[in-house]
């Protein structure tokens, strides 16, 4: 059983450095009729039993079914030992829409609060002040413990904070060895200066890091006796104010990724990877910050 280190902010927000994602569990944007969720729930339970406590989900994943799978996985566990994040989809960002979405997520997850609730991605057609007012209410009523956003650019994040009575503690963004938009856009620096956690999604680029990354990282894999993916995850969480989540339906991926925790690379190696890792992209190819 691993004890997962928490990442902490000065504002006292804490989140496990590494957690489990649920994208593709139970379906994609719609529920997969051929997937009853049992194997996905078992994968989450396997992670919980190994000491992981953070599960990241969203109402959009499998049209709510991923949240039901999370509910199954956490059933009977002490809620205060868990950290559950969910997200409100961009079409539900009106004041009433956010309140209704949160209620739906709680029902599907079978919990009475969320540790972190994120705006999944911006929607220019719905005033941000309405969404934030609803999040502030949920936070004041302790239905959510913390407010966050996802895929927000610096300007929008600053605007969201100006609108909010409560601190916005996190921005969840596409960040890994290849996709460096948070570095290039100034988001990483902004989060660090403003005491905001950067949660990296797609930390392993879905297991598809560029072909020449294996050769590049080989000397470090040998130096630390770690695999490419363990180096990739460790590099992310070695950075102050950065936490991450990976999807691991395959038990061998869970085993491998847990080996990314509990050790540190030399600072010079961390910076060498930052500067020299091959084929870096400056903008997300999936959801660019906006």
Ligand X SMILES: NC(=O)c1ccc[n+]([C@@H]2O[C@H](COP(=O)([O-])OP(=O)(O)OC[C@H]3O[C@@H](n4cnc5c(N)ncnc54)[C@H](OP(=O)(O)O)[C@@H]3O)[C@@H](O)[C@H]2O)c1
Residues annotated as catalytic are: 61
Strands 18-21 and 54-56: parallel
Give the gyration radius of the chain's Cα atoms. 18
Q: Which of residues 114-153 bind ligand X (CB under 6 A)?
A: 120, 150-151
* CA distances from residue 287 to 40, 93, 115, 169, 177 in whole angstroms, order as listed: 25, 18, 24, 20, 16
Count of CB atoms situated within 10 Å of the CB of 209: 22
Question: Could you give the CA distance from residue 277 to residue 196 in angstroms, rounded to a whole number?
Answer: 26
Return the residue of 160, 245, 258, 265 that touches ligand X, per CB under 6 A.
245
Count of CB atoms situated within 10 Å of the CB of 206: 13
Stretch that binds ligand X, among 108-116, 155-163, 185-193, 251-259 (CB under 6 A): 251-259
CA atoms within 13 A on the CB side of 131: 28
Return the residue of 186, 207, 219, 240 that touches ligand X, per CB under 6 A.
207
Angle at the Cα of 173 (from 19 to 50), degrees rounded to 5?
Answer: 5
Helices 154-163 and 128-140 sit at what angle, rounded to 10 degrees? Answer: 50
Stretch that binds ligand X, among 135-143, 217-225, 246-254, 271-279 (CB under 6 A): 246-254
Residue 287 lies near ligand X (rule: CB under 6 A): yes
Shortest approach of ligand X to residue 92 CB, angstroms?
15
Return the residue of 167, 202, 220, 261 that touches ligand X, per CB under 6 A.
202
Stretch that binds ligand X, among 21-29, 76-84, 129-137, 184-192 (CB under 6 A): 21-29
Stretch that binds ligand X, among 18-26, 135-143, 183-191, 275-283 (CB under 6 A): 18-26
Q: Which residues contact 206 (CB under 8 A, 6 or more apart)?
A: none
Residue 219 lies near ligand X (rule: CB under 6 A): no
In the bound state with ligand X, the residue whose beta carbon lies nearer, of 164 and 205, is 205
Residue 22 lies near ligand X (rule: CB under 6 A): yes
Stretch that binds ligand X, among 44-52, 99-107, 160-168, 243-251 (CB under 6 A): 243-251
Return the residue of 72, 145, 166, 249 that touches ligand X, per CB under 6 A.
249
Question: Do 217 and 228 form a contact (C-beta atoms < 8 A)?
Answer: yes
Q: Which of residues 23-62 bind ligand X (CB under 6 A)?
A: 23, 56
Distance of CA 219 to the CA centre of its chain: 29
In the bound state with ligand X, the residue whose beta carbon lies nearer, of 99 and 118, is 118
Question: Do 261 and 1 form a contact (C-beta atoms < 8 A)?
Answer: no
In the bound state with ligand X, the residue whose beta carbon lies nearer, of 133 and 253, is 253
CB-based burial of residue 35 (10 Å sphere; 0-12 exposed, 13-18 middle, 19+ buried)? middle
* Residue closest to ligand X when measured from CB atoms: 21
Shortest approach of ligand X to residue 290 CB, angstroms?
12
Q: Which helix (H) or strand (E) holds 130?
A: helix 128-140
In the bound state with ligand X, the residue whose beta carbon lies nearer, of 134 and 149, is 149
The residues of the shown chain that bind ligand X, judged by CB under 6 A, are 21-23, 56, 120, 150-151, 172, 201-207, 229, 245-250, 253, 256-257, 287
């Amino acid at each position: 059983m691993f004890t997962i280190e928490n990442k902490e902010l000065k504002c006292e927000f804490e989140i496990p450095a590494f957690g489990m994602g649920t994208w593709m569990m139970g379906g994609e944007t719609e529920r997969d009729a051929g997937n009853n969720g049992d194997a996905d729930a078992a994968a989450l339970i396997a992670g919980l039993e190994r000491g992981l406590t953070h599960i990241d989900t969203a109402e959009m994943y499998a049209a709510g079914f991923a949240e039901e799978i999370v509910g199954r996985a956490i059933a009977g566990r002490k809620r205060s030992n868990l950290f559950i994040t969910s997200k409100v989809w961009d079409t539900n960002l009106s004041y009433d829409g956010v309140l209704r979405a949160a209620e739906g997520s709680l029902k599907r997850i079978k919990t009475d609060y969320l540790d972190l609730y994120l705006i999944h991605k911006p929607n220019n057609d719905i005033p941000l002040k309405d969404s934030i007012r609803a999040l502030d209410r949920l936070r004041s009523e302790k239905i959510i413990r913390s407010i966050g956003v996802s895929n927000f650019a610096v300007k929008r994040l600053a605007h969201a904070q100006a609108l909010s009575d409560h601190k916005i503690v996190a921005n969840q963004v596409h960040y890994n060895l290849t996709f460096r938009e948070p570095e290039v856009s100034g988001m990483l620096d902004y989060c660090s200066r403003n005491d905001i956690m950067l949660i990296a999604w797609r930390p392993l680029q879905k297991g598809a890091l560029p072909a020449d990354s294996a050769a590049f990282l080989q000397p470090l894999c040998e130096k630390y006796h770690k695999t490419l993916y363990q180096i990739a995850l460790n590099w992310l969480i070695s950075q102050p104010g950065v936490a991450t989540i990976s999807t691991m339906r395959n038990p061998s991926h869970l085993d491998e990724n847990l080996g990314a925790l509990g050790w540190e690379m030399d600072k010079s190696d961390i910076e060498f990877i930052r500067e020299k890792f091959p084929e870096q992209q400056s903008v997300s190819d999936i959801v660019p910050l906006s």
